[in-house]
Chains A and B, each alone.
Chain A
Amino acid sequence: MAIGESQLDSDGPSEDVDAQFGWRYTFGKVMQDTTARWGLYVVAFVLLVSAYTLIDSNLSRLTFGAVSDFAAAEALPIFEHPERIPPPGEIDGNVPPAFHPDGTLSHPLGTDPDGRDYFTRIVYGAQVSVSVGIVSTMIGFVGGTIIGAVSGFYGGRVDDILMRIVEIIYAIPPLILIIVFIVFVSGGTPDIRYAVIGVGITFIPIFARIIRSEVLSVREMDYIEAARASGVKNRNIILRHVIPNSFAPVLVYASLQIGVTILVVAGLSFLGFGAQPPTPDWGQMLNVSHGYMHSNVWLSIWPGVAILVTIMGFNLFGDGLQDALDPRIND
Chain B
Amino acid sequence: MAEPLLRVENLKTQFFTDAGTVRAVDGISFEVHEGEIVGLVGESGAGKSVASMSLLRLVESPGEIVGGEITYKGETIFGLEEGPDGDLREREDMLSNVEMRDRIRGNEIAVIFQDPMESLNPVFTVGGQLREFIELNRGLGKDEARQEAIQMLREVGIPDPAERYHEYPHQFSGGMRQRVLIAMALACEPNLIIADEPTTALDVTVEGQILELVDDLQEKYDTSFIWVTHDMGVVAEICDRVNVMYLGEIIEQAPVDELFHATKHPYTTALLNSMPRPDRTVEELEPIEGVMPEAITPPSGCRFHPRCPDAREVCKRVHPDNEVIEHAAGYPHRAACVKHDVFDVGYDESVPLEKEPQVTAGTPGGGEEQ
Contacts and interface: CB of A to CB of B under 8 A. Distances in A.
Interface of A: 11, 14-15, 17-18, 156, 221-223, 225-233, 240-241, 244-245
Contacts of A228: 58, 105
Residue with the greatest number of chain B CB neighbours at <10 A, chosen from A156, A223, A233: A223
Contact of B131 (A11, A14, A223, A231): A14
16 contacts: A15-B128, A156-B61, A221-B118, A222-B115, A223-B122, A225-B119, A226-B111, A226-B181, A229-B105, A229-B110, A230-B110, A231-B100, A231-B107, A240-B121, A244-B121, A245-B121
A15 B130 CA distance: 12
Contacts of B111: 226, 229-230
B119 A222 contact: yes
B216 to A, nearest CB: 22
B184 A230 contact: yes
A222 B118 contact: yes
Contact-size category for B: 35 or more
B113 A245 contact: no
Nearest to B98: A233
A15 B125 contact: yes
B106 interface: yes
Contacts of B168: 18
A225 B196 CA distance: 12
Contacts of A233: 101
A14 B125 CA distance: 9
A232 B136 CA distance: 8
A15 B167 CA distance: 10
Contact of B101 (A14, A231, A244): A231
B291 to A, nearest CB: 25
Contacts of A245: 121-123
A223 B125 contact: no
B150 interface: no
A16 to B, nearest CB: 10
Nearest to B129: A223
B133 interface: yes
**Which of B105, B123, B166 has the most A CB atoms < 10 Å from its CB?**
B123
A118 B195 CA distance: 71
B146 to A, nearest CB: 9
Given A223-B121, A226-B120, 20 more contacts: A11-B124, A18-B125, A156-B61, A222-B114, A222-B119, A225-B58, A226-B111, A229-B56, A229-B58, A229-B105, A229-B111, A230-B106, A230-B110, A230-B111, A230-B133, A231-B101, A232-B101, A240-B124, A241-B121, A244-B123
B104 interface: yes
B348 interface: no
A18 B56 CA distance: 34
Contacts of B114: 222
Contacts of A18: 125, 166-168
A17 B166 contact: yes
A228 B100 CA distance: 11
Contacts of A229: 53, 56, 58, 105-106, 110-111, 113
B90 interface: no
Interface in B16-64: 53, 56, 58, 61
B102 interface: yes
Contacts of B360: none
A218 to B, nearest CB: 10
Contacts of A230: 105-106, 110-111, 133, 137, 184
A223 B136 contact: no
Contact of B137 (A11, A221, A231, A240): A231
A15 B58 CA distance: 30
Contacts of B121: 223, 227, 240-241, 244-245
Nearest to B181: A226
A241 B119 CA distance: 11
Given A15-B124, A17-B166, A18-B125, A231 B105 contact: yes
Contacts of A231: 100-107, 136-137
Nearest 10 CB-CB pairs, A to B? A231-B105, A230-B106, A222-B118, A231-B106, A229-B111, A222-B119, A244-B123, A223-B121, A226-B119, A231-B101
A229 B115 CA distance: 14
> Which of B105, B142, B167: most chain A Cβ within 10 A?
B105
A22 B77 CA distance: 43
A263 B124 CA distance: 37
A232 B119 CA distance: 14
Nearest to B185: A230
B136 A225 contact: no
Contacts of A221: 118
A306 to B, nearest CB: 38
Contact of A244 (B56, B124, B167, B181): B124
A221 B136 CA distance: 21
B369 to A, nearest CB: 26
Contacts of B181: 226
Nearest to A11: B124
B194 to A, nearest CB: 8
Contacts of B131: 14
Contacts of B101: 231-233
Contacts of B104: 231
B252 to A, nearest CB: 28
Contacts of A227: 121
Nearest to A236: B136
Nearest to B184: A230
A85 B296 CA distance: 92
Given A222-B113, A229-B105, A229-B110, A14 B128 contact: yes
Contacts of B136: 231-232
